[in-house]
Structure 1
Amino acid sequence: MAGTIVLATALEEPGLTPSDRLYAEALERRGWRVVAAPWNGPGEAFDGADAVVLRSTWGYYRALDQFRAWTEAMATSTRLFNPIALVRWNLRKDYVGKLAAAGIRVPRTHIVACEAQAIEQVLAGAGWDQAVVKPASGASGYSVELVKRATLAQQVAGLSDEARAAGVVVQEFLPEIAEGELSMVYFDGAFSHAIRKRPPPGEFRSNSRYGPTRNAETPPREVTEQGAACLAALPERPLYARVDGVVRDGMLIVIEVEVLEPALFMEFDPPSAERFAEATLRRLLAKC
């Protein structure tokens, strides 16, 4: 047995997703022991691990300080993937502004206090009648709303405690989202595969809780190259990443970059699990 790799999950769903099971099996075929363990469960599950790979640590944003401390501890005791610099970078969505400063095309974005007056000022200044509002630290479509000026006070009152604590992202609404959000997966900077997530009629959110359809897709090469260029703007090259966005006139508009715990949709392209395993072991063995 080569060693042990722990895939970090969460107590609310401690097992591996079908996608991550393919990855685990690919690592096991290469002689590694693979264990799934919740990040917020017993700490001894991570003792002696050769590497910890953040996978389905869902809900971390509801215990942000605890999760931040745990990832910092993992980074000092074992090999953490993605590395801690990327975890820090991805924990707060002000990274969107950093991407824009690096020349990456993103929606117009502001981060403000979770207050109706602050959000109204953004809408008025931008000339928007509506905007997407989401917690500045969050994931999984949690507390994401399309707010309208006419109903702003009521909608802001219904936002989560996490949004009030972290502030909110107020983001330009992209009408192309009705045709689906493109999710492109990269391993060690190289494009692997993609899916399109189409929200149901009348919905703009494509997270699983809202019932989107999902289909494998092969984006044009120039679009996948734009996604790779986006990753080149990160603090370091991620082992795994998902670039979500829409395409307008052949240009990718990056809505989010996920290098913390994104679903990687390997079940739509099973050979991708082999690519992920190979990329993982190249990273791990290069510095052992």
Structure 2
Amino acid sequence: MKKLAFLSTDNLDDFFVYDELLVAPFAKAGWQVDTISWHRRNINWNEYTAVIVRSTWDYQQHPEEFLSTLSEIDQSCARLENPLRLQQWNMHKTYLKDLQAQGLTIVPTLWLTKFNEHQVAAQFNEYDTDCLVLKPVLSANADDTFKLTVEELIAKSNELAEVFADRKIMVQPYVKTIVEEGEYSLFYFNGSYSHAILKRPASGDFRVQEEHGGQLLPYQPDDYMCQVAEQALNAMPDSSLYARVDLIRYQDKWAVMELELIEPSLYFTLDTQSPQRFVEAFLQRIER
């Protein structure tokens, strides 16, 4: 059998992982899957035909080391998916600027090189909002994401200065439709639509991830949503094996919250045919 590696991490005890649903269809297609932590050293990547980045859900804590691992794989005989160039582009959320330049709607964002209470506070008036969201430009899993009123900003100023010391941050208005309606994720394998879900946060929260209590439901997107998602894919600097486009409703438009190309959960449990579609998309790319 041909050998394929899923790139993961050391400890996934606090996460929901669905990639094991790919093992059987890959085996049926003649591929053995090994799951390897990106932290491991001295791996002979030449033993693998391809390495697919999957549950590397702590990479944001060690970005340079993670990129070093990806570069090592890219320089081996193994095919890296998604491509290194694409992951480098997607690692910092400043890629949203590129999407905006291509005509896509994103949530209005102030980009700061470090935390500045006065600059952040000014955005309450700028965005005409009573609540802001602060998060790192390099982040995953909603780590170090803060939802703040004016009073909370003042009260947490010292904590925020410490959390965001020497870290670039983004400041956005809190969009209430995330709680009132939810966030939509559309999944594409080798550029073709696979499935979609609706993610709703737990009561009293605004984060939609399962790890934070979010609720997940299958969803059938309309043509307009698909058009926006495909416009985002067309703005990428390279093609992808997998892509997740996260959309929210913002001022009667679909805004791109994220274009996930490194390690998005693909929620294979919510569409029984999606694992097979993923394997077929991989085979199309590897055989061309």
Contact 1:187 1:239 in 2 (8 A): yes
- Residue 207 of structure 2 is aligned to residue 208 of structure 1: no
Match of 2:286? 284
Could you say if the C-alpha distance between residues 168 and 48 of structure 1 is closer, same or farther in structure 2, counting changes exceeding 3 Å?
Answer: same
| Distance (Å, rounded) in 2 between the aligned partners of 1:160 and 1:280 | 44
What is the RMSD of the two structures over their aligned residues, measured on CA atoms? 2.2
Change (3 A) 1:54 1:160: farther
Alignment of structure 1 residues 115-264 onto 2, 5 Å: 115-159=116-160, 163-178=164-179, 179-248=181-250, 251-264=253-266
Q: Which residue of 2 aligns with 1:73?
A: 72
Whether the 8 Å CA contact 1:223–1:250 is kept in 2: the answer is no
Paired position in structure 1 for 2:39: 40
Could you tell me how far 1:250 is from its partner in structure 2? Answer: 6.4
Task: Give the aligned residue type for 1:51.
Answer: A
Give, in angstroms, the shift of residue 26 of structure 1.
1.5
Moved more, 154-163 or 104-113: 154-163
Asked if 1:106 is matched to 2:120, the reply is: no
What is the rounded CA distance, in whole Å, between the counterparts of 1:49 and 1:257 in structure 2? 28
Show CA shifts across 1:147-194 (max 9, x none). Answer: 222221333433496743331111222111012111111111111111
Q: In the alignment, is the contact (CA less than 8 A) between 1:223 and 1:251 conserved in 2?
A: no
Q: Give the TM-score normalised by structure 2.
A: 0.92
For 1:224 and 1:259, the matched residues in 2 are separated by 17
> What is the TM-score with the length of structure 1 in the denominator?
0.92
Q: Distance in 2 between matches of 1:281 and 1:156?
A: 51
Q: Please say if 1:84 is aligned against 2:84.
A: yes
User: What is the rounded CA distance, in whole Å, between the counterparts of 1:51 and 1:273 in structure 2?
Assistant: 17
Give the ranges of 4+ consecutive aligned residues of structure 1 lying more than 4 Å apart after TM superposition: 159-162
CA–CA separation in structure 1 for the residues paired with 2:281 and 2:164? 35
Aligned pairs, how many?
A: 285
Q: Which amino acid aligns with 2:108?
A: R
* Larger deviation, residues 162-171 vs 120-129: 120-129
Per-residue CA distance 1:69-120 (angstroms, 9 max, x = gap):
1112211112111001111111101111111111011100122112323322
Amino acid at match of 2:170: V
Change in Cα spacing, 1:253 to 1:262, as seen in structure 2 (3 Å) is same
Deviations 1:9-36 (A, max 9, x none): 001229x965211122211110011110
Q: Percent identity?
A: 29
After superposition, the C-alpha distances for 1:41-77 in whole angstroms (9 at most, x for unaligned) are 2432634211110000011111111111111221111
Matched, 1:63 2:62: yes
What is the CA–CA distance in structure 2 between the aligned matches of 1:160 and 1:41, rounded to whole Å? 33
CA–CA separation in structure 2 for the residues paired with 1:139 and 1:162 = 15
Can you give the 5+ residue segments of structure 2 that lack an aligned partner in the other structure?
A: none
Report if aligned partners of 1:227, 1:252 keep a CA contact under 8 Å in 2: no
What is the aligned partner in structure 2 of residue 275 from structure 1?
277
Contact 1:97-1:109 within 8 A present in 2 as well: no
